[in-house]
Amino acid sequence: MNKTVKSLQAVRARIDALDRELLSKISERARLAKEIGLIKRASNPSPVFYRPEREAAVLRAVREANTGPLDDETVAWLFREIMSACLALEQPLKVAYLGPTGTFTEQAAIRAFGHAATLMAEPGITEVFRAVASGSVDFGVVPIENSTEGSISSTLDALADGDAVICGEVTLRIHQQLMGQGESLASLAGQVSRVVSHAKSLAQCRNWLDTHLPGVERVAVVSNGEAARLAAVEKGTLAIGPSIAAERYGLTILSANIEDTPHNSTRFVVIGREPVPPSGADKTSLVLSTENRPGSLNNLLKPLAEAQISMTRIESRPSRHTAWDYIFFIDIEGHQEDPVVADALAVMRQQASMLRVLGSYPKAAI
């Protein structure tokens, strides 16, 4: 046996020993999670098992402690899945998301809650909010804004009109995959009759399609999941969508990351029924309105500037109650329980026609 083989065997033996040690530590963590579940049930008839602020703090700590060679996102993902599996031992979570299966929102829900959560696809954003409000699920995941397409009006309207609380956020890089039946795009030369996808996905890949599939019909369908389903049953039909759609429908990714804008991202929010305590790195979302007179909005927002609270987003929407009357959606840094934020909000409430906190929640940690 030469030295190279001996060296390889020695390294593999060390890996095997580490794997056993890892398994032992993960099992110990799982046993502690079960113990926490028992303690919570004994002390509270309606215990809260999922704590977004706790999980966000753990993931941030993991990223800060990471020294490589795995990157921070990979390490956070590994711990996300460990925590998801351990939480399921306490109480499996039910999470509704904007369906159908095989969409970016399903991908965001998995990113937020891990594979151990029970995911339930709903046909629309309103239905996700309704499922959360009724208590049939613990949380919901819906898109709220895209970096190139702007805000999702249905989500903003549902937040403004309902009682749901924003409990978290997920930001997902939008990579569009061309998928279909076959081994490669070249092997399908002359056989492709149409490309189907959600209208926004088709728009985001327009230049790539013009270059690589000129003259091929493009058909908009209700979702990327539906596009993948059609590609799985129709010869000559290709779909555009997330990689999870190819997994769900048994398709081959024929060309990866075909989006025209490489930095396109979508932000999703996690909605629930109960407010989230501070995590140490939070955001707060507000909806508010003010009188329609010169300088009123500037005066309303002045307490934020005076307290040096960063406003990360502002957008107006028709109030839908009076013609040409508008409400404003605002995101700020900090938690509503932080003294500086609480004081600024108290001053703003005195000046606003309406001000409601939609939720204070941890910044995306994964």
Q: Which token pair is 232?
A: 């799985």
**CB within 8 A of 336, min separation 6: which ones?**
284, 342, 345, 357, 360
Cβ contact 141:95 at 8 Å: yes
Question: For residue 346, how far is the Cα from the chain centroid?
Answer: 31
Residue tagged active-site, from 105, 266, 284, 290:
266
CA separation for the pair 268, 10 (Å, rounded): 46
Q: Which token pair is 112?
A: 């937020």
CA separation for the pair 144, 365 (Å, rounded): 17
Residue tagged active-site, from 79, 104, 268, 329:
268
Alpha helices (H) in 169-316, listed in sequence order:
199-204, 206-212, 224-233, 243-249, 296-306
Please count the other Cβ atoms lying within 10 Å of the Cβ belonging to residue 163: 11
- Give me the residue label for tokens 């993960």: 26
Cβ contact 266:201 at 8 Å: no
Q: Which token pair is 225?
A: 């999941």
CA separation for the pair 147, 127 (Å, rounded): 25
| Residue among 42, 45, 50 nearest 91 (CA) | 50
- Catalytic (active site) residue 139: no
- Catalytic (active site) residue 266: yes
Cβ contact 357:284 at 8 Å: yes
Give 51's strand partners: none
Q: Burial of 112 by CB count in 10 Å (0-12 exposed, 13-18 middle, 19+ buried)? A: buried
Question: For residue 84, how far is the Cα from the chain centroid?
Answer: 15
- Give me the residue label for tokens 């009006």: 153
SS3 content of the chain, % helix, strand, coil (to 5): 45, 25, 30
**CB within 8 A of 126, min separation 6: which ones?**
154, 158
CA separation for the pair 144, 78 (Å, rounded): 26
Q: Which residues participate in catalysis according to the annotation?
A: 266, 268
